Amino acid sequence: MNNNMKKVSALMVLSLALGGGAAYAAELNSGSDAIPVSSQDIVQNTVQGQGKALSPVKVHVNDTAIADGYWNKDGKTPMISLRDLADALGIELTWNKENKSAELSKGNLWTIVTTGKDQYSYNKMLLTLGTAPEITNGKMYIPAAFAEKVLQAQVSTTGNQVSITSEEQAKTIIERGVITSINQKDKYASVHIGGVGTSGIVLNVGEDTVYQTADGKTLKLGDLSIGMTIEAEHAIIMTMSLPPQTPTYRITVLDQMDSKSENSEVLGTAGKIEQVTSEGHAVTRIEISGIGLSETSQDRVILNINEDTQIVDPQGKTLKADVLTKDAAIIGFYSPLLTRSLPPIGTAWKLVVDTEADGTSMTDGLPSPADRADGAEIQPK
């Protein structure tokens, strides 16, 4: 009799334990089809009868992090915030509170997304992605495939990482030019090539930018200097500012001053040729008046020209010495080894002549020497 009672008691305990576990699982999976997670939490969910750890989906759009996403109920589809995605891609989003839908528009792009409907409009057709949009914590989330199938972006999912690259960002072009300034003082570093002031282009660089020599040797931003001719791989999209700015992925240095020389630092002066000295048919010396491109550069300098002096256009293409004429727009690059005369005299390493300047100065858009004495920046903003 006692043994039978013990068996009944054991069965009752087991039944209660199993019943409690089922109730807990039902509570966990009730309500929304998705379980939102934060970057600090790991949420346990039952997927196809098996326990699975769900961690946040880290989302990057054009190499910039946006709000975390999450895995939907089946644990196979990454869900991302539609509002954050639209903002990152520069797409206008209009929310319709009545039917909980969002309209997206940018140029020729237009689509509408409705909560709970696996139905997405693209090119006057309706697509299904296998997962409907859903509202989580007051925000609409859509499957990551939406960015690829509807917005025509490139989507890559690795583990809990989703990387989205816009169609414009995915296209890159190669730009060649001579470095005229390097800005490392601000939070966002940049390299200006192809001109000074409002001319040329500003290459915005970051942690992912690759620096190298023409033969593949790895460099860093600090190895660059003004006067170098580089090739830059950058996004096809640019700002509408003067000069335009663009994200840059790779910078390849095509030349540099001899590192074995006594002082390989480079100074630069942008302006006009004030005077030309020749011997026979060869130009041997020029005087440049304008603005120094760095704190230690000269506003006025006389530069000797020898057989090693490079004469190029702003893109680094070789020019003949006959472009060195009075009033020509020019940037002279030289070492800090100068005479103490006024103006000081040195040897030109590279001369960049803008043959299309049409009489305008290389210093247009740059602060005057007086302004710089008051703390004005040389680099364009």
Q: What is the DSSP string of 150-175?
A: TT--EEEEETTEEEEE-HHHH-EEEE
Report which residue type is found at 331: I
pLDDT in the model for residue 236:
81
Q: Encoding tokens for residue 332?
A: 């002279």
pLDDT in the model for residue 30:
32
What percent of the chain clears pLDDT 90, i.e. is strictly above it? 59
Highest mean pLDDT among 6-10, 163-167, 221-225, 356-360: 221-225
Cα distances from 258 to residues 179, 251, 261, 264, 305, in angstroms, run: 17, 19, 6, 7, 17
Distance, CA of 294 to CA of 381 (rounded, Å) = 16
DSSP conformation class of 23? H
- 357: pLDDT strictly greater than 80: no
- Confidence label for 43 from pLDDT (cuts 50, 70 and 90): very low
Are the C-beta atoms of residues 56 and 160 closer than 8 Å to each other? Answer: yes
Residue 237: what are its φ and ψ, rounded to 5°?
A: -80, 140
Output the CA angle 273-276-280, nearest 5 degrees: 150
Q: Per-residue pLDDT averaged across 66-86, rounded?
A: 93
pLDDT in the model for residue 22:
35
What does the pLDDT look like over 283-323, one tens digit per residue?
Answer: 999 999 999 999 999 999 999 999 999 999 999 999 999 99
Residue 192: what are its φ and ψ, rounded to 5°?
A: -100, 130
Q: Which residue has the tokens 């006594």?
A: 262
What percent of the chain clears pLDDT 70, i.e. is strictly above it? 77
- 16: pLDDT strictly greater than 60: no
- 239: pLDDT strictly greater than 90: no
Q: Encoding tokens for residue 134?
A: 């859903």
Q: Per-residue pLDDT averaged across 116-145, rounded?
A: 92
Distance, CA of 77 to CA of 144 (rounded, Å) = 7
Q: Which residue has the tokens 């759009």?
A: 61
Are the C-beta atoms of residues 347 and 335 closer than 8 Å to each other? Answer: yes
DSSP conformation class of 57? B
Are the C-beta atoms of residues 163 and 220 closer than 8 Å to each other? Answer: no
Distance, CA of 107 to CA of 28 (rounded, Å) = 43
Q: Encoding tokens for residue 247?
A: 């994200």
- Confidence label for 345 from pLDDT (cuts 50, 70 and 90): very high
- 41: pLDDT strictly greater than 90: no
Give 74 or 349, the one with higher predicted confidence. 349
- 47: pLDDT strictly greater than 70: no
Q: Encoding tokens for residue 249?
A: 């992925």
- Confidence label for 235 from pLDDT (cuts 50, 70 and 90): confident
Q: Per-residue pLDDT averaged across 157-183, rounded?
A: 88
Residue 91 host element (H or E): none
Which of 8-17, 87-96, 125-134, 198-207 is least confident? 8-17
pLDDT in the model for residue 131:
95
Distance, CA of 217 to CA of 227 (rounded, Å) = 19
Highest mean pLDDT among 26-30, 181-185, 264-268, 324-328: 324-328
pLDDT in the model for residue 356:
85
Q: Count Cβ atoms within 10 A of the Cβ of residue 78 and give its class: 0-12 exposed, 13-18 middle, 19 or more buried.
A: buried
CB environment 318-327: b (16+ within 10 A), e (fewer): eeeeebbeee
Distance, CA of 1 to CA of 216 (rounded, Å) = 87
Q: Per-residue pLDDT averaged across 342-359, rounded?
A: 90
Residues facing 154 on adjacent strands? 165
- 37: pLDDT strictly greater than 80: no
pLDDT in the model for residue 284:
96
